[in-house]
Amino acid sequence: MGAIKGFMQYEREVPVPRPIDERLQDHQEVYIPLPEEKYKQQGARCMDCGVPFCQSHTGCPLGNMIPDWNDMVYQGRWDEALGLLLKTNNFPEFTGRVCPAPCEGACVLGINELPVTICNVEEAIADNGFEKGYIKPNPPENRTGKVVAVVGSGPAGLACAAQLNEAGHTVTVFEKADRAGGLLMYGIPHFKLDKKVVKRRIKLMEDEGIKFRTGVNVGVDVPLKKLMDDFDAVVLCGGSEKSRDLPVEGRDLDGIHFAMEFLPQQNKRNEGDTIPEDISLTAKDKNVLIIGGGDTGSDCLGTSLRQGAKNVYQFELLPQPPETRGVTNPWPEWPRVMRVSSSHKETKTEITEYCVSTKKFSGDCGKVEKIHAIRIKFGDPDPKTGRPQMFEVEGSEFELDVDLVLLAMGFVHPVHEGMIKELEVKLDARGNVSCDENKMTSVEGVFTAGDMTRGQSLVVWAIAEGREAARGVDQYLMKTTNLPHSQYSK
């Protein structure tokens, strides 16, 4: 695939970020797309590797036929590349921008060279498809007469709705927020995923016959059982929204918030909304502490810098990842190595401190003013759990002045209040919605997909889950299905 010697002729190139001083003044996407010729060169780097692990279960859960469309881009066959990509991925314009690219971690070239820029090529194929008019509404020719409700319009819900609509079912998507898109709209900052990209896809889906009902919180505004009465099947795609908390002394002080209280507000401002003063959260002129070193923490950092924070600090409980793969993390597994996000490159100094545990918060007049922390170290694995044992370093206690604390420590399971409690659906040991191999829950005719059943995961996994749930629904309604399986195991 690609040019026979392409991986030797061309270096890995990725889109160039806009100057830091420029991008900190706005919320537009960080990266400038490469010229078309550069994407052809990157496609040329894809090797005829025999076994393309990039599209295996260790690489892409969607089973994207990566070497084939890389070769098509190299040859300038953009429309064919798009057609092949859309067979397995409903939304390459999303995954190309925000997926951490497990496919690149499994790239054969990545064993001893920098891997192929798979995600960037994927994004370019999608954007080229919209620009050239290759992507256009394609409603089904015939309708089955079956009606399906999808609850939640994140990537899992959207993928499920798109597949069910393609099968000819009439689909209504219910979204509790005022705009469709779920975490694509309100969980990911504009500088990583421009909301024009999300709204463009939603508009296309509407033109294909999918109905969106926003501002409807199923289980609160509308009983879930009413949807079960009105629709032939219901699919729950509400995500994993229960944030992991930090139950220490002083947690109830004003100024300590979950990341998902903070991030959506800026997205709303970018869309022209006004946030009421009594609930408005902003980092402007504040000493901000972010607790958690993952993608959500990085999003909080980039947003805080754009809002004009005085100082930003970040604490991570775990040790700093290594620069290269460890012996227990061999290829083609996802490489657990040190990464620096575009947001971290926007800081003047290294802001993240690793192996830090929060002991308590303190402050006067009910407002947080200080965090009290201690440094930790990790020892041998615990014989019972297998996890490394954690020890506090004696005499390493310290304090830090803070005005705003953002908790970005991940999510534990879906919110149980509302539709899950109403339905009394079976949950697994982690508090996620349990389902069978066809994605049906313990309640007949009710299915589930995405983070709500899988747990906190990636956009690409959510799309795979949504596609699989659609297949299960189609099989349930029609007793047969032509919708494809997603290549993954739960």
- Taking the C-alpha atoms of residue 42 and residue 23, their distance in angstroms, rounded to an integer, is 26
Please measure the distance between the N-terminal and C-terminal CA atoms of the chain and give it in whole angstroms: 30
- Taking the C-alpha atoms of residue 363 and residue 365, their distance in angstroms, rounded to an integer, is 7
- The answer, yes or no, to whether residue 490 has pLDDT greater than 60, is no
- Taking the C-alpha atoms of residue 242 and residue 260, their distance in angstroms, rounded to an integer, is 10
Residue 58: per-residue pLDDT: 87
- The answer, yes or no, to whether residue 218 has pLDDT greater than 60, is yes
The letter for the amino acid at 363 is G
DSSP 3-state assignment of 461? helix
> Residue 130 corresponds to which tokens in the numbers above?
């919209």
- The answer, yes or no, to whether residue 459 has pLDDT greater than 80, is yes
Mean pLDDT in residue range 380-399 = 93
> Residue 53 corresponds to which tokens in the numbers above?
């692990």
pLDDT band at 205 (very low <50, low <70, confident <90, very high): very high
- Taking the C-alpha atoms of residue 193 and residue 28, their distance in angstroms, rounded to an integer, is 8
Residue 48: per-residue pLDDT: 85
Mean pLDDT in residue range 191-210 = 98
Question: Could you tell me if 469 and 160 are in contact, meaning their C-beta atoms sit under 8 angstroms apart?
Answer: yes
- The answer, yes or no, to whether residue 426 has pLDDT greater than 80, is yes
Count of Cβ atoms closer than 10 Å to residue 111 Cβ: 13
Mean pLDDT in residue range 202-218 = 98
- Taking the C-alpha atoms of residue 368 and residue 282, their distance in angstroms, rounded to an integer, is 15
Question: Could you tell me if 312 and 351 are in contact, meaning their C-beta atoms sit under 8 angstroms apart?
Answer: yes
Mean pLDDT in residue range 267-295 = 97
Residue 487: per-residue pLDDT: 62
Predicted model pTM? 0.96
Question: For 145-160, what is each residue's pLDDT tens digit?
Answer: 999 999 999 999 999 9
**Could you tell me which residue, 490 or 149, shows the higher pLDDT?**
149
pLDDT band at 489 (very low <50, low <70, confident <90, very high): very low
Sign of torsion over alpha carbons 14, 18, 19, 20: negative
- The answer, yes or no, to whether residue 405 has pLDDT greater than 60, is yes
- The answer, yes or no, to whether residue 1 has pLDDT greater than 70, is no
Question: For 7-41, what is each residue's pLDDT tens digit?
Answer: 999 999 999 999 999 999 999 999 999 999 999 99
- The answer, yes or no, to whether residue 2 has pLDDT greater than 80, is no
Residue 488: per-residue pLDDT: 58
Count of Cβ atoms closer than 10 Å to residue 59 Cβ: 24
Q: Delineate the domains of the chain, giving CATH numbers in brackets.
A: 6-132 (1.10.1060.10), 147-241+412-478 (3.50.50.60), 245-409 (3.50.50.60)
DSSP 3-state assignment of 409? coil
